[in-house]
Amino acid sequence: MNRRRTTSVDYRHPHRPLPVALLNGLGRTLGLRARLDPDRLRAAARRLTGLSDFGAEGPGLDEPLAVLAGAIEREARLTPTGRLMARTNLVRILSGRLRIERALTRHPEILAQRMAPPIFIVGLQRTGTTLLHRLLAVDPRLRYLASWEAVNPAPLPPRWLDRLPRSPDRRVRAARLAERALAYMAPDFFAIHPVEAEAPEEDCLLMDYSLWSTVFEATQRVPSFSRWLEARPDHTPAYRHYERVLKLLHFQRPGRWLLKTPHHLEQLDALLEVFPGARIIQTHRDPVRALASFCSMMAHGYGVFSDEVDPLEVGRHWSRKAHRMVSRAMATRDRRGEARVLDVAYADLLADPLAQVRRIYDWLGLSLGDRTERRMRRHLEGNPRHKHGRHRYRLEDFGLDRETEERAFSCYRERYSIPSEA
């Protein structure tokens, strides 16, 4: 990637490589539409895997799949290739669910495992969660979720290529191909959030296998599904299923889990119900600045799937969402106490990352060690800011007003003494 790349702010006209644009034009001319019927999606997953049991644990699939598929059909405004990618992704998720259930049925010892209390990094999007996650993940004592594991938690059936000497796991090969495809289709996205096959990735992707996941609204315009998900009063069943998937991955490669996603901010109650010993690190940044950055990220992400991206809609949706996230997190912390949460300021993290790491390790009761610190220094040197390009964004591009947002975030800003970046 070219670090001199500067991201586009023309959100209404997403980057579209010529071959993809031609395919979209051909698809529209011929009326080609990938089918998103829930029954057909389930049948496709069964044919692909040769399996039939989606499992009875956790929330059922029927309702969320129907709501999500309907939202994509009616609201997402996808291109023909976008529809194909959406269908492929849903079949992947349903196939993954089938493989997960088969693995857990064949190996009941997986669910009998005892895991050390996980460490969760949470915070509004664009507040340094990725920087901190990838820095801490350098420590080999901590077990992170790699991108290739997130998209295929259960092993895939071997093929002839797997028999070659030193051939990587088929799941790794699939993730590398997906990484190259995303870099080709949306090069600006890597300047905002690089998605790399073997790098640490957000564990909200594991929520996909129950379909109670905010990943879908972060990639496509599906407001009715977002409302449905927010209206569920108790997300504990989804977190119980998430724990099952985590144990499957733990069985394949054990270690103390280091996990990260803003998704958990909305559901800290459910998270702590399922993981009562969890330690939580919450990052904080000027929320208005973070919101502008995240709206830009979402607009670029929607542009992978759609030619009709409305930045004003993006602003309205994610402004409301960000206010909800911090309000719910503060309420949970008030109810449950602060003993298991450590706050990290984005400004402090940028100014002296290793000072914050030492503070975190002291809080966790871990020793940093010279070797791990040297690894972290090398990681920082090899991954400077703007490595993949400069991210440009402005709050007003999304129809948002600074004074209005400042009022909405005032309690959050005051509680954690968050300075303005204006």
Helices (H), 275-419: 287-305, 311-336, 346-351, 353-364, 370-382, 402-415
Q: Are 127 and 349 in contact (CB under 8 A)?
A: no
Place of tokens 């194909």: 84
- Burial pattern 323-358, b for ≥16 Cβ within 10 A else e, equals bebbbbbbebbeeeeeebbbbbbbebbeeebeebbe
Distance CA 120, CA 102 (A): 28
Q: What is the pLDDT of residue 386?
A: 83
Q: What is the pLDDT of residue 4?
A: 61
Quote the pTM value.
0.95
How many other β-carbons are positioned within 10 Å of the β-carbon of residue 50? 9
Q: What is the largest CA-CA distance in the chain?
A: 62
- Positions in the chain whose pLDDT score sits under 50: 1
* Sign of the alpha-carbon torsion through 109, 114, 116, 119: positive
List Cα–Cα distances, 66 to 52, 120, 209, 377, in angstroms: 18, 31, 15, 48
From the list 163, 133, 405, 89, the residue with the least C-alpha distance to 281 is 133
Domains by residue range for the chain, with CATH: 18-415 (3.40.50.300)
From the list 4, 10, 6, 36, the residue with the least C-alpha distance to 307 is 10
Q: What is the pLDDT of residue 9?
A: 95
Q: Are 91 and 44 in contact (CB under 8 A)?
A: yes
If phi > 0 it is left, if psi is from -120 to 50 it is alpha, else beta; for residue 196 that is: beta
Distance from chain centroid for Cα 109: 28
Distance CA 414, CA 15 (A): 39
From the list 243, 336, 295, the residue with the least C-alpha distance to 57 is 243
Place of tokens 């270690």: 255
Distance CA 227, CA 293 (A): 23
Residue 279 in 3-state DSSP? Answer: strand
Tokens matching residue 408: 């909405």
Q: What is the pLDDT of residue 1?
A: 45
Which residues neighbour 323 within 8 Å (Cβ) at sequence distance 6 or greater? Answer: 408, 409
What does the angle CA 389 – CA 288 – CA 16 come to, to the nearest 5 degrees?
Answer: 40
Distance CA 259, CA 121 (A): 6
